[in-house]
Copies of this chain bind each other. A is one copy, B any other.
């Protein structure tokens, strides 16, 4: 890992894609410069944090003008490794795996789904939304042949740990877990999880307090 990457705190890394998304919205609206205050508002953090986060990228903005939207997007994309594609394998060809294979946001943002993999022989052999379905046993070969960078776990919770072990054994060092369970990965493997229920809990907070007051 580069020295600079080592110096960027994990929480900052997790916010970079949020800033990048805000910058893309500004770019779509043909806005050329943005203040840290405006970017903070869009990303849901405070302006001091934005300035601190961006300083890790070597971006300081111009007093009274702000940050150049296009240049900051470029810097951030480069830092995030988004200037080239990262082929992805999805493990689990059920509804969630199929939905993810068909999710427009992945390819569009540089994460083409190169293969679906499933433990059931019945699902193997065909194509789902143009993505070939292979058997779990072929994972090591697929990972090497397709240059898979990231494995997505889209299985039931009960299979998730076994799948994570198989991904790691196939040399895949970045794992995104959609299964609603906690899994462990070897040292040196990056793991992120998507908790689909988490945002519902945020909504229920506001719903609860709205209902209480009847407003």
- Chain A positions within 8 Å of B, measured between CB atoms, are 1-2, 5-6, 10-11, 13-14, 16-18, 20-21, 25, 44-45, 79-82, 86, 88, 94-96, 98-100, 102-106, 108-111, 149-150, 156-157, 173-176, 180, 182, 188, 190, 192-213, 215
Cβ contacts under 8 Å, A86 to chain B: 200, 203-204, 207
B79/A205 in contact, CB under 8 A:
yes
Q: Is the interface of A mostly helix, strand, loop or mixed?
A: helix
Give bound CA distance, A135 to B160, whole Å.
35
User: Copies per complex?
Assistant: 2
Cβ contacts under 8 Å, A203 to chain B: 86, 150, 174-176, 190, 192
* Known pairs A6-B209, A94-B102, A96-B102 / 13 extra A-B pairs, C-beta < 8 Å: A2-B213, A5-B212, A10-B44, A16-B202, A79-B208, A80-B205, A81-B209, A98-B99, A108-B180, A109-B201, A149-B204, A190-B203, A193-B199
